[in-house]
Structure 1
C-alpha cells in the first residue's frame, strides 16, 4: 500500500453539509486534489503493490437524506464517517466503486404495478404475498402491458404469481411495495453530494476513475444485490437479468475489498451474501479479504412499521462466521 499514515481531512469538507444537496465544484476540487497528491506524495493508484477496493452501495440521496423517499435512519452520520474515511485513507484506497439503485415508476415493487379489485394501488410498505395474488386481492396493473416485456394480460398475471412464489421458495424477503425512489433522472438517484465530492477528489488525486455500477432497472424483478436479481428467470426459464460476472471477477481480483453503504439490511446484505456464495464456490479463504465497514451503514427501520435490525445482525453474524471481517472506521486493522 502507498503509505500507512493517515492523511488529514481537507479543509473544504464540512460534515454539516453531508445532509444537503449541492453542486460539487469540480474544477476547484480537481486542482486541490492534484496539489494534495503532490504535497503528501500520494502516488497514482496504478503503482499500488496491493489493490484495495472500496465498494459503496447505494449511497444516494433517496436513502441517505432525511427529506427523501426511503431515508435510512443513521445514514447521515454513516456518510460523515464515510467521507472522513475516504479522505484519511486516500493513499490506501486504490479504487472506489459505487452502485446506484436505478428505477422507473412501473416496476414490480412500486405502487403503480399493482391494483386491487377497486382499482386502487397498494400503499408504500404493503407486503404482497402469494395468497394475495392467488386470491386476486392484488393483481398486476393491465394498463402497464405496453411498458413491460410481456405480450398479454394472461402472461402478466402468470408472471406475478411466479414472482411472489419464487421469493417465498428461495427464502428471500417477501415482496414489499416501496415508495417511488431512486428514480432515474431524478435528484434522489444521485450520489450524496459530499460522497460524490470525496469520490471525485479520490479520482483525481489517485488518477483512478470511480467505477459506477447501475442496478435495479429491470421492471419485473427487484435487485437488492448489485451482483444478481432477486428472481432471475421467468416462468418459462428465460433469464430476467444477468449475473454481474464482470463485477464479481473485479471484486475478487483485489487484495482487499471494503464494503459500506445503505441499507445494511437490504442492498448491502444481499450483495455480501451473493459475493460470499461466489467465494465459497471458489476458495473459502477469499472471505478473509472482505471487510464490512459497519459504522458506515445502517438497517432499514420505519418506527412503528418495520425494523430490519435483527435480520441485518443475523446476516452479518453469518458473514463473520464464514471469515468476513467486521470493522469500523476507528478499527482498520491494516493501517492505523
Structure 2
C-alpha cells in the first residue's frame, strides 16, 4: 500500500497549541477517509505493526509547559510532533495499532521539590538541583518526613539507598524536576494534534488505541515505560515492578515503531529496557524495532544540562544491537 495524502483538517501550525479535538466531526471524516482509500479494519488484516508513542504529552511537548523538550533547536518537540502526525496520517493503512504511554505524577514523589529539605528546611530548586549520595550522607538534603508515616530515619535511609542505587546502576543522577505530568492536570493530557491523529487512526482502522500509565510510584522515578529506576528499598522489599504485560505485547509485534519524548530520558530508557528483554530471548528480535529519529528530541536546559550526546550514544548502541534508526520522511518504505 502506498502512502496516503494528509487529511485537510491537519494544521501543522497548530501542533504547538492547546485545543479541543472535535471527535464527532473527525469520526465522520475518518470513516469517509477509510472508505475512499479502502482501508481495512485491523481485524481483517494479517499484519501486526505497532506504533509506540512515549509520553507525547502537553507537559513535554508544548512551549510554556513545565518540561518542554526543545532540544538544541528550541522547537524540538513541536517539530517532532508535526512529523509524527504526518507519519501517522500517511501510514494509516499500515499502522495497525497505536500505544501511548503517559507519564503520570502526584505531588509527593522522589523527584519533586516537596520530597526534599535542606538544612534550613527549604525545598530544592527544580531543574537545577541534582542530589547525590554524598549530598544525602552529609545531610545537605534529607527526605521530607511530613508526607510519610515511616520514622524519619527510615525514610532518610531509603533516600540514601535510592540515590546510591542510581549511581551504582549507571543511571542518571537524581535531578529534581518541576512539578509536571500531574494527574488530572492539563499537562498530563496528550498533545491535541497527536491525540487527534490517534483518534482518526482508530476510527479509520477500527483499532482501539492502548494507553499505558507509568511514573506514579512515590519512591522511584520511571523514565522507562517498561520498568522503574529502582525496584527495591533498602530492606530488599519490592517497591515497583516491570510492566511485563506491555513488554510481552510489544514483543509480539511484526514491526514496532517508536517515537516520543524525550529521546535522552523516557525514550532511551524504554528502548534500553526493551533491548534487555530482547537480548534475553532472541537478539534477532531487535531487527523488527524501528526508532523514528526525527520524531524525538533530547532534554536540553540551556545553561544547565544538555543530554544530546547521551541520547545520540544510546541510539548508536541500539543501532549496533540491530535496531533500525529511521526517519519518518524516509523514501524507502520500512513499514
How do 1:1-336 and structure 2 match up within 5 A? 3=1, 5-73=2-70, 74-125=76-127, 126-146=129-149, 151-331=150-330, 333-334=332-333
Indicate the residue corresponding to 2:73 in structure 1: none
SS of the residue aligned with 1:326? strand
Residue-by-residue CA offset, 1:228-263 (whole Å, 9 max, x unaligned): 000011112111112101001100101000000000
Q: Give, in angstroms, the shift of residue 47 of structure 1.
A: 2.2
Whole-Å separation in 1 of the counterparts to 2:205 and 2:60: 28
Q: Give, in angstroms, the shift of residue 153 of structure 1.
A: 1.4
Q: Give, in angstroms, the shift of residue 332 of structure 1.
A: 6.1
Whole-Å separation in 1 of the counterparts to 2:31 and 2:329: 27
Residue-by-residue CA offset, 1:153-173 (whole Å, 9 max, x unaligned): 122111101100100110000
How many residues are aligned here? 329
Shift of the 6–100 alpha-carbon distance from structure 1 to 2, 3 Å rule, reads same
Whole-Å separation in 1 of the counterparts to 2:176 and 2:45: 44
Whole-Å separation in 1 of the counterparts to 2:145 and 2:279: 42
Whole-Å separation in 2 of the counterparts to 1:107 and 1:332: 44
Runs of 4+ in 1 over 3 A off after TM superposition: 332-336
SS of the residue aligned with 1:291? strand
Unmatched tracts of structure 1, length 5 or more? none
Q: Give, in angstroms, the shift of residue 48 of structure 1.
A: 2.3
Whole-Å separation in 2 of the counterparts to 1:268 and 1:180: 20
Whole-Å separation in 1 of the counterparts to 2:273 and 2:37: 38
SS of the residue aligned with 1:200? helix
Residue-by-residue CA offset, 1:80-103 (whole Å, 9 max, x unaligned): 000000000000000000000000
Whole-Å separation in 2 of the counterparts to 1:334 and 1:85: 12
Whole-Å separation in 1 of the counterparts to 2:40 and 2:189: 29
SS of the residue aligned with 1:257? strand
TM-score by length of 1: 0.96
Whole-Å separation in 1 of the counterparts to 2:174 and 2:316: 24
Q: Give, in angstroms, the shift of residue 181 of structure 1.
A: 0.4
Asked whether the equivalents of residues 105 and 182 of structure 2 are also in contact (C-alpha less than 8 Å), the reply is yes
**137-146 or 108-117, larger mean C-alpha shift:** 137-146
Whole-Å separation in 1 of the counterparts to 2:244 and 2:196: 29
Q: Give, in angstroms, the shift of residue 49 of structure 1.
A: 1.9
Q: Give, in angstroms, the shift of residue 335 of structure 1.
A: 5.0
Whole-Å separation in 2 of the counterparts to 1:239 and 1:227: 16
Asked whether the equivalents of residues 87 and 329 of structure 2 are also in contact (C-alpha less than 8 Å), the reply is no
Unmatched tracts of structure 2, length 5 or more? 71-75
Whole-Å separation in 2 of the counterparts to 1:39 and 1:331: 25
Whole-Å separation in 2 of the counterparts to 1:335 and 1:233: 40
Shift of the 333–250 alpha-carbon distance from structure 1 to 2, 3 Å rule, reads farther
Whole-Å separation in 1 of the counterparts to 2:332 and 2:232: 41
